[in-house]
Amino acid sequence: MGRLEDKVAVITGAGRGIGREIALLMAREGAKVVVNDLGGNTDGTGTGKIADDVVAEIRAAGGEAVSNTNSIAEVSGGEALIKTALDAFGGMDILVNNAGILRDVTIFKMEESDWDAVLNVHLKGHYCCSRPFARYIRENNRTGCRIINFSSVSGLYGNFGQANYGAAKAGIAGFSRVLALELAKYGCTVNTISPGALTRMTIPLRENRGEKVEQSELDQGGPQHVAPICAWLASAEAAGITSEIFHTGRGSVAIMQQPKVIKQFHKKSGVWSLDELDGVVPQLMEAKKANVDAAEKAGATIEI
């Protein structure tokens, strides 16, 4: 018996890459799956029918799946997607907000259209699908649901040339923390994945540097390595885990720090003078460095 038997899972952007692997794995674990994908290009232009191929693959392996080609960047698309799950399978338990695009360019050249397209698919896309699902959970008192969101080190650490994408991905981490609070009452967990995988989104970055991606690398670093923690977070075993960020890929699974005050000074009366700040800011920076060093030491890889 699979870990997701009788569950209904909706996975956005599941026509290829990480989403496809999540759809295939969740179906193998017994979930009924809605494969959503607009089927466009990496920059968000165009459309295609790739979701149907993944549905066919799942069915050929004995699983249950239906496709949906709505754009999750629109409120109506998110609503139609959740409706697809309810119409096809009579309920919904798991939402994986995975769909994504890229429009990499530095701030000097970033057009409004580059900003809007990326923010719409990533950050607004999370809202467009999560709101109808949250309403469904509340209206039907559906317990044990799961939302799994997709962030990135681009936003959590920062990455050159990705102000739009990084802003969206950092926003998704904040969005997830709030949703985790709002849905806790219904037993719905909300967690975030920061993945690393060789897909059509990342392979060109390597190729642009003149590096060829070999099959052995795809075996070690392909999107299939991101799917397991996502499926695990959707399972009953993950009931007590919410508002966390897991970093995963290339055989690694890791938990990330959340923003927290590391050290603080409090002035009992009056406003800080700039001269006083000359004294305390270096101490804050020192505390920050010690904290980062300790986190890096604690986060050293354990081979198993």
Q: Which residues are catalytic?
A: 165
Secondary structure (3-state) at 60: helix
- Any idea which residue has 């897909």 for tokens? 199
String marking each residue 182-201 x if it binds ligand NAD according to CB under 6 A? -------------xxx-xxx
Q: How far is the CB of 294 from ligand NAD (least distance, A)?
A: 26
Q: Look up residue 144 and give its amino acid.
A: G
Task: Return the CA Rg of the chain.
Answer: 21
Q: Which residues contact 54 (CB under 8 A, 6 or more apart)?
A: 14, 15, 20, 23, 24, 35, 37, 65, 67
223 contributes a contact to ligand NAD by CB under 6 A:
yes
Binding ligand NAD (rule: CB under 6 A), the pick from 11, 40, 166, 233 is: 40
Binding ligand NAD (rule: CB under 6 A), the pick from 4, 8, 18, 134 is: 18
Q: How far is the CB of 177 from ligand NAD (least distance, A)?
A: 18
29 contributes a contact to ligand NAD by CB under 6 A:
no
What's the rounded Cα separation, in Å, for the pair 184 and 207? 43
Nearer to ligand NAD, 40 or 171 (CB): 40
176 contributes a contact to ligand NAD by CB under 6 A:
no
Binding ligand NAD (rule: CB under 6 A), the pick from 67, 84, 130, 152 is: 152
Count residues contacting ligand NAD (CB under 6 A)? 32
Phi and psi at 9, nearest 5°, equal -120, 135
| Neighbour-count burial of 153, counting CB atoms closer than 10 A to its CB (0-12 exposed, 13-18 middle, 19+ buried) | middle
Q: How far is the CB of 190 from ligand NAD (least distance, A)?
A: 16
132 contributes a contact to ligand NAD by CB under 6 A:
no
Q: How far is the CB of 182 from ligand NAD (least distance, A)?
A: 22
Paired tokens of 118? 């990326």
13 contributes a contact to ligand NAD by CB under 6 A:
yes
Nearer to ligand NAD, 83 or 138 (CB): 83
Alpha helices in the chain (DSSP H): 17-28, 50-60, 75-89, 112-119, 125-140, 153, 163-183, 203-208, 215-221, 227-234, 274-298
Let me know: does 227 contact 18? Beta carbons within 8 Å.
Answer: yes
Residues that bind ligand NAD (CB under 6 A): 12-13, 15-19, 36-40, 42, 44, 71-73, 98-101, 121, 150, 152, 195-197, 199-202, 223
